[in-house]
Structure 1
Amino acid sequence: MPVGTRSTEAMRHAEQALWRMLSFFGDPIPDLDAAAAADPGWLLPPVMKAGFLLSLTEAAFRPQAEAALAGAEAASRGAPARERTLLAAVTQGWQGDWQAACDTWDRVLLDHPHDILALLWAHFFDFHRGDAWQLRRRVARVLPQWDASAPLYPYVLGMHAFGLEENHLHAEAEAAGRRALDIDPQVPWAVHAVAHVMEMQGRFDEGAAWLRRHRPHWSVGNGFAGHLWWHLGLFRLERLDTDGALRLYDEHLGGDAVQIAFQRLDATALLWRLHLLGIDGGERWPALAQGWDRSDDVAGWSAFNDLHLMLALAGAADVPAARRWLAQVERRVETTVSTERQLAARTGLALLQGLLAYAHGDDEATWRQLHPLRPVVQRLGGSHAQRDVIDQTLLAAAARGGLQSAGRGLVNERQLAKPATPLTRHWAGRLGVRLDGRPS
């Protein structure tokens, strides 16, 4: 592909940063700074820096990103069209129009199907936008142009596997993920995709063994490790090993392990699931809630992050703070730029209202607010496994509020989607229904 530098040193640093972004091993920003120092006139390193920060979905990184974009803009004259288009896409992303950014990355991919940087960013924001169709099809549009002779091919296969899984093509997803790891075992996105398949199919013991088997390749020095620990926590919860899940939280997800929102999402999501099962998180909750950024600039930037911040406040039993957070998000929703983001923001706002009702102990209001949102909750982004926190909250509200018939429907769905796991049996027992759908 055309690049706007003749400096081999700058190119070496940029390619190292690209590998870090794909593999999650190490921080790419020092490599990008070194690339920029080696060739200050090259457009791509500051674009990559701003794009990497964008992918973290934290508005707090905006000042750093804007400084990088300003530097990129200054270097854009005479740069290759591909690099200028990447700059345009990342700028659209930071303006809040994630759909437009994905469309612009796609234009790059149609001309340059080997541009794995555009593919990676578009894949991330298909995920952040909850667009499962594009999560699969975007990779499919370029995959035939790749083959095993390309060093980064296993990472493309890993993305392909995840897109297949989110479209419920489980056998194909597992095969693609396993093939990627046969070529290169250091592809945590492929480990992750197969773990998702096993979670969706209720293969909790096999899933735990899968993560343990690949643990040497993801657990040390990898930014994705926390999320894979979270997946191991889900497998433990599916077999009702709450002690093991809480121990995992303390060892790998809480405390100093939490530095950015991406990590707080996993910590909050696991602790909330434990909370729904009656496990007291104790002082873990205030510590976790305090770490979330609640500034006005952050509210409404990512509906998915907003949701998890509300879970942290509800878990900490800080209802006044939860009300204030809801009000902050309400004020910011109207400023959302694109129609798609507006829909996501409004869906997220309605979810926050339902979670606040749960924190108040109003189970009927929780059900009335959350249950109608289930068909559109994918607008928040995230995966099926992550969004399952809404169904589990509904099950807990139905069990606590005596809403047997309502909860029975959710139990019926779960046992048809996967074998009746100990977790499903737990909710059936709490609701007083048999797993054949009848009252016990």
Structure 2
Amino acid sequence: MTLPTASPRLVDPRDNRLGTSSHEAADRVETALWRMMSFFDTPVADLEAAHVADPGWALPLVMHAGFLLSLTEPGQHHVAAHLLDTAEPLLEGALPREQAHFEAQRAVAEGRWQHACRIWDDLLLEHPRDALALQWSQLWDFYRGDVQSLRLRPARALPEWSESDPLFPYVLGLYAFGLEECNLYPQAEDVGRHAVAGDARVPWAVHAVAHVMEMQGRFEDGTAWLRQHQPGWSEGNGFAGHLWWHMGLFRLEALDVPGVQRLIDAHLSGPALQITLQRLDAAALLWRMHLLDIDVGARFVELLRDWQPSDSDAGHHAFNDLHVLVALLGADELVRAESWIARCAARAMAPEDARRSNHTVAREVGLPLMRGLLAFAHGDADQAVAHLQPARLHALRIGGSHAQRDLIDQTLLAASARASHRHVGRALLNERRMAKPITPLTRHWAEQLGLSA
């Protein structure tokens, strides 16, 4: 009698073995991977369909958990943890590559972000065409402020890729952003333009080039660039809100306040804000307007009403915590702001959280920054400068991009303009003048400091 043999396991389009023999499951996972890299719709429906097609395959569950964790929504953590618990029994005999993805996401769920990125580093040495590892590690490098890895990890992998691979432009987009965050602006722009030169819609690469133009003070070029590629990112894309935020930065650099207000009304308020990452952008843009003495208090109140960050959200990620504080201060909720800082401090000092990547960063960088912002809101400009000036030198550690962390510098400029001594503001303005051409926004800060641009 001939015994039936098990169906052979499949490989993905990059010759990585898969732990399934179901073509339906494999195809659905590949589509989900594209969605995660392109931000077009969420991957959840595809991953759920892959799990139905092969309930014994752990990877769809791990990818679902990883997607939820990448949103930095504390309320989704218990869902992600349940998915990982469900996947764990399926890992016996699983492929080492897929086991590594599980271990990395378990580390992410436990707050050990640096350890997760080390796992992906090791995995990519053997599997440089693992697009999932490249995508996830870039996000968590970004959240940790590890700019060297943002650049070097895709650089190590790209020569192993074929330009005919449909995901190749998305990996180029990762590399372009890493180059930009390492201040390699001409190279970043070249790689980003290459990524979007074909038929693929690559919002991350559009975003990388927008960052270059922001850092170089090319606000009109940046506006034109985003408008040129708007059909490829503005509809049906989860990253659209962040690119509208970049458009807002360009218009604010030009001091086009009515244009920024129209943009906020259309794209960064009300129903347009569905997740924390979008609300962080809205808070950041409103705060920059607040620093220009534009009355946006009612907009902050509306943002907080829809957002309603809970006590349990505090202390998860110093970058997010800072932006919640900004929203509270902008809405003139100073008592709540003080309570928020206290909750973040308690989490940062908690012994049970000592393994978390955020633990030391929050204590050494996040809390001083928040105390500086609180002092500014209380009208104590000297104390604001005293807290913000030393902490800004280490702000990279809280994550985010250069453009996002410029909120700190602009607050410091505003505080210095009101402080008893303006030498910090003068030095900071000199930094800006050496980094990029004089813009209307730079002239504004020079005037506030009593200096010529």
TM-score (structure 2 length as normaliser): 0.94
What CA distance in whole angstroms lies between the structure 2 residues aligned with 1:343 and 1:356? Answer: 21
Aligned to 1:105: 120
Matched, 1:337 2:359: no
Aligned to 1:206: 221
Q: 1:133 aligns with which of 112, 132, 148?
A: 148
What CA distance in whole angstroms lies between the structure 2 residues aligned with 1:211 and 1:249? Answer: 16
Q: 2:443 aligns with which of 416, 425, 428?
A: 425
Aligned to 1:26: 41
Q: How does 1:171-182 map to 2 (within 5 A)?
A: 171-182=186-197
| Number of positions where the alignment pairs a residue of Structure 1 with one of Structure 2 | 435
- The alpha carbon displacement at 1:293 in A equals 4.6
Aligned to 1:406: 424
Q: 1:59 aligns with which of 74, 85, 91?
A: 74
Kept in 1: contact 2:192–2:206 (CA 8 A): yes
The residue type paired with residue 244 of structure 1 is G
Query: What value does the CA root-mean-square deviation take over the aligned residues?
Result: 1.1
What CA distance in whole angstroms lies between the structure 2 residues aligned with 1:270 and 1:338? Answer: 33
- The alpha carbon displacement at 1:344 in A equals 1.4
Aligned to 2:88: 73
Kept in 1: contact 2:270–2:306 (CA 8 A): no
**Deviations 1:333-384, CA, capped at 9 Å, x for gaps:** 1233337432311111111111111111110000000100121100100000
Aligned to 1:438: none
Aligned to 1:397: 415
TM-score (structure 1 length as normaliser): 0.97
Matched, 1:311 2:352: no
Kept in 2: contact 1:363–1:397 (CA 8 A): yes
- The alpha carbon displacement at 1:290 in A equals 2.9
Q: Which runs of 5+ in 1 are unaligned?
A: 436-440
Identity %: 56
Report the more deviating stretch, 288-297 or 5-14: 288-297
Aligned to 2:371: 353
Matched, 1:363 2:378: no
Q: How does 1:316-331 map to 2 (within 5 A)?
A: 316-331=331-346
**Deviations 1:91-138, CA, capped at 9 Å, x for gaps:** 000000000000001111111111000110001111000001111111
Q: Which runs of 5+ in 2 are unaligned?
A: 1-15
Q: 1:374 aligns with which of 392, 415, 432?
A: 392
Q: 2:209 aligns with which of 194, 204, 207?
A: 194
**Deviations 1:239-284, CA, capped at 9 Å, x for gaps:** 1111111111111001111111110111001000001011111421
- The alpha carbon displacement at 1:185 in A equals 4.3
Aligned to 2:12: none
The residue type paired with residue 338 of structure 1 is R
Q: How does 1:254-333 map to 2 (within 5 A)?
A: 254-333=269-348
Kept in 1: contact 2:169–2:200 (CA 8 A): no
Kept in 2: contact 1:198–1:204 (CA 8 A): yes
Kept in 1: contact 2:111–2:356 (CA 8 A): no
Matched, 1:416 2:434: yes
The residue type paired with residue 272 of structure 1 is W
The residue type paired with residue 99 of structure 1 is Q
- The alpha carbon displacement at 1:305 in A equals 0.3
- The alpha carbon displacement at 1:287 in A equals 1.5
